[in-house]
Structure 1
Amino acid sequence: MMNPTPYVMSLEPGSYYFCACGRSASLPFCDGSHQGSGVEPFAVDLAESQTVAICACRRSANRPFCDGTHKSLAAG
């Protein structure tokens, strides 16, 4: 099982859509590749600039944000 680390990035105020299906070519952002899959992106509105950690393992209980779950996944 993979052990991907989160995408850590500084974002400006605004609306963001983060991929929930894993198909996006511009991860962690949604590029519309989910169309027809029944999966919708995570919409996040930021009121102020902040640094965020976006889940890459797709198992966080707080998606799209990382909660550290990837640390407990077996590598390989």
Structure 2
Amino acid sequence: MQKPVIADKAPKALTLEPGTYYWCACGKSKTQPFCDGSHRGTEFAPQSFTIDVKKEVWLCQCKHSKAKPFCDGSHRTL
């Protein structure tokens, strides 16, 4: 089983508009925390999530959160 690349040991705070987004699960994307297709050839796939109303979110960049794509503080133990 491959392990994801830790893109950063801190979450990314963003204000997102309503819509569907694709979170990078492999950690290789150059457009963190969103997918840019860098996972091709790996066992990883982006995780889609939908925002219904404009709001601030904290997206995981360590790729170890149990609440993916959202940060749960797992980066503190890496």
Normalised-by-shorter TM-score class: 0.7 to 0.9
Unaligned runs of 5+ in 2: 1-5
Task: Provide the C-alpha distance between the structure 1 equivalents of 2:40 and 2:76, rounded to a whole number of angstroms.
Answer: 31
Using the TM superposition, give the Cα deviation of residue 71 of structure 1 relative to its aligned residue in structure 2, in angstroms. Answer: 2.2
Q: For residue 38 of structure 1, report the CA deviation from its aligned partner.
A: 2.0
Query: CA shift at 1:58, angstroms?
Result: 1.4
Moved over 4 A (4+): none
TM-score, normalization by structure 1: 0.85
CA–CA distance in structure 1, aligned partners of residues 75 and 30 of structure 2: 21
- Report the 3-state secondary structure (helix = DSSP H, G, I; strand = E; otherwise coil) of the residue aligned with 1:71: helix
- Normalising by the residue count of structure 2, what TM-score does the alignment of the two structures yield? 0.83
Bigger radius of gyration among the two:
1
Match of 2:27 among 6, 22, 25: 22
What value does the CA root-mean-square deviation take over the aligned residues? Answer: 1.5
How many residues are paired up? 72
**Cα distance, 1:56 vs structure 2:** 1.3
Percentage of identical aligned residues: 44
